[in-house]
Structure 1
Amino acid sequence: MIKYLLRRLVNYLILTVIATLFAYIAASSFFFPRRKYLTSSEPIPEASVDAILDRVNMNDKTPVLERTWRWITDVFTKPWIQKLNEDLNGDWVMHQLGLRAGVSLQLLFAGVLIGAILGVTLGVWGAVRQYKASDQIVSYASFVLISTPTFVLGLLLMVLTTWLNNSLGFQLIRFTGAYTPGVEDGLPKLLDRLNHMILPTIVLILFSAAGYSRYMRSVMLDVLGSDFIRTARAKGATRNHALIKHGVRVALIPMSTYFAYAFGTLVAGSAFLEIIFSWAGMGQYGINAVQVSDVNALTGNVCFTAVIILFSSMLSEILYAALDPRVRV
């Protein structure tokens, strides 16, 4: 099992490097960072613009392959805080990743963990109670949530929360930013951060649970008609024992593969939530990088996303090996 996981880890690391490199080449080929200075209210001499772009390795007058080689060299030779070079704001990209990664991971981990547990539970419930009222309600709600963009759901919750706060006469739930400036450290600051996490976390949980429930219900329906369930019942196992010990475990095997895909989708959805909820996370950083054609910032964002998906894929492989003895053998 250890050799299997190490082999998969090496494969994912290679894919991460390739994805980051291709992101840099693609961004260098199509982005035009010079536009930021050409549209300035005060004209900037071309020589000054060239000097600025040369310092951050984004000068479009330099061939793409030459810029790529310089970028690769910098990644392996510069200190960690200078790796991936500076962005157009003059900040080291690696330093920005360190500041913003924790903000994004707060949302992602809560949304993934709670959403997965809730979605799997609803999927099993729907399969066991197929075509009954509870199954129909969960199915319709899941389809509505899946077809609704995350930012639309976030805006709707913001409207409802504003109405609730106005009705109560005080701000029960805060949703602008990741925290309230000026709150003292300790327990008040922790409670304040948790308060700001409520709405975006609810959006990610609902979005994640909807996808998991539909997939789990489909897989569980196939498992319920399997021969090993009937054999377990014939040997005297109760219905609940057969479903939990045999049915759910087998159904979770393909769900472990779906986990890595769903996590990648959730990363994309959280980027828009960070914009509408004013969270200074990686999603906001990546969207701003695209808007100003910042090659280094976008490359760092892609690298962060690739690493996160790498860890989710490795967790998926571990779950797969734990659930399926054939993989361990």
Structure 2
Amino acid sequence: MLSYILRRVVNYVVLTFLATVCAYMLTSAFMDPTRRYQGRNPPLDPESITRTVDELGVNPDVPVLERTGAWLHRLVTEGSFGRTIHQTDVLTEMVARAGVSLRLLVVGSVLAAVLGVALGVWGAVRQYRAADSVITYASYVLIATPTFVGGVVLMILATRFNAAVGEQVIRFTGAYTPGVPPEFWPRLADTVSHMLLPTIALTLFGAAAYSRYQRSMMLDVLNADYIRTARAKGRTRTSALWRHGVRVAVIPMTTYFAYSFGTLLAGSTFLEVVFSWNGMGQFTIDAVTQSDVNAATGAVFFAAVLVLISSTLSEILYAALDPRVRS
């Protein structure tokens, strides 16, 4: 199993590297950092603009391949993604913001996967009954609803709840409250309060998609031969389904989790904007809107690493659940 996992990790590392290089080449080809300095009053000296983009290594007048080669040399020799248009180190910015985003992503993705699998299994077992219908309709409504709309709705409900109790119980602006006491429990309570709404939104939207996929997989195994064999050996229907059916039905979910993580990451980006979280989502949007080539490449690298990690975890789970893939 270890050799199987190592082979997969090597493949993912190579893909991450290629994705990052391609991201730099594409952003360099289509983004023009000099536009940020144009149209100002008073106008900036063209030579100053050229000198600035040369220092950043993103001068659009330099051929893309030449810029890519210089960027790769700096990445390999210095371990640096370059500097942003604000003259800050890209990697330093990413490290500072990654923790903010990961708090939301890790908790939200795990809860979404667990809740989605549970609802999918429950809906399949209770097929066409009231519980299955409720889960199905609720899932379709959530899937059809844009993420930022769900975030705004939760903010409205939280505002009304705070007004009803007469106290700011749920806080949803920013990742923390300035001036909160440094002690552990006050800081923990403040963190939970700020994470509550975006985590609920990310969990519900992720669970809606997971439940549909898991329900389909579970329905495929309900009438399988091994389920009937287990029943013939004396197991109850519930025991046969949980001991044999659920394990087989969950196997495809491990792969689906890895490839749906990108969608979850996109959803968290919009939620960060809605809830004013200064994380990698806001960093990515700022990089794109400001034509910041180095920052945009760093954002793609961050997303690729997260997908690499989730893919590796899915491979481990897949190998643990299905021994046939270990050889």
* 1:301 aligned partner: 299
* 1:147 aligned partner: 144
Displacement of 1:263 in angstroms is: 1.3
Q: Distance in 2 between matches of 1:328 and 1:21?
A: 31
Q: Distance in 2 between matches of 1:262 and 1:144?
A: 19
Is 2:126 the partner of 1:129?
yes
User: What do the CA deviations read for 1:233-284 (whole angstroms, capped 9, x no partner)?
Assistant: 0011111110111000000111111110121110011001111111011111
User: What do the CA deviations read for 1:74-102 (whole angstroms, capped 9, x no partner)?
Assistant: 10112x4xx00000011100001100001
- The secondary structure found in structure 1 opposite 2:33 is coil
* 1:283 aligned partner: 281
Corresponding letter in the other structure for 2:324? R
User: What do the CA deviations read for 1:184-238 (whole angstroms, capped 9, x no partner)?
Assistant: 1122112101110000000000011101111110000001011100010001111
* 2:59 aligned partner: 59
- The secondary structure found in structure 2 opposite 1:34 is helix
* 2:232 aligned partner: 234
Q: Distance in 2 between matches of 1:238 and 1:167?
A: 49
* 1:159 aligned partner: 156
Displacement of 1:62 in angstroms is: 1.2
Q: Distance in 2 between matches of 1:229 and 1:41?
A: 75
* 2:40 aligned partner: 40
- The secondary structure found in structure 2 opposite 1:172 is coil
* 1:221 aligned partner: 219
Corresponding letter in the other structure for 1:43? P
Q: Distance in 2 between matches of 1:118 and 1:91?
A: 40
Answer with 131-140 or 34-43: which moved more: 34-43
Q: Distance in 2 between matches of 1:40 and 1:282?
A: 29
> Which segments of structure 1 move beyond 3 Å, counting only runs of 4 or more?
none
Is 2:166 the partner of 1:177?
no
Question: Counterparts in 2 of 1:245-324, with a 5 A limit?
Answer: 245-324=243-322
Q: Distance in 1 between matches of 2:317 and 2:39?
A: 52
Q: Distance in 2 between matches of 1:157 and 1:210?
A: 17
Corresponding letter in the other structure for 1:291? T
Q: Distance in 2 between matches of 1:263 and 1:42?
A: 46
Q: Distance in 2 between matches of 1:114 and 1:269?
A: 15
Cα RMSD (Å) of the superposition?
Answer: 0.8
The TM-score normalised by the length of structure 2 is 0.98
* 2:165 aligned partner: 168
Q: Distance in 1 between matches of 2:140 and 2:28?
A: 39
Q: Distance in 2 between matches of 1:188 and 1:244?
A: 41
The match for 2:113 among 113, 116, 128 is: 116
Displacement of 1:39 in angstroms is: 2.6
Displacement of 1:60 in angstroms is: 1.1
Is 2:124 the partner of 1:91?
no
Identity of paired residues, percent? 57
Q: Distance in 2 between matches of 1:239 and 1:167?
A: 47
Displacement of 1:326 in angstroms is: 0.7
* 1:23 aligned partner: 23
Corresponding letter in the other structure for 2:144? S
Q: Distance in 2 between matches of 1:208 and 1:240?
A: 27
Corresponding letter in the other structure for 2:14? I
Displacement of 1:104 in angstroms is: 0.5
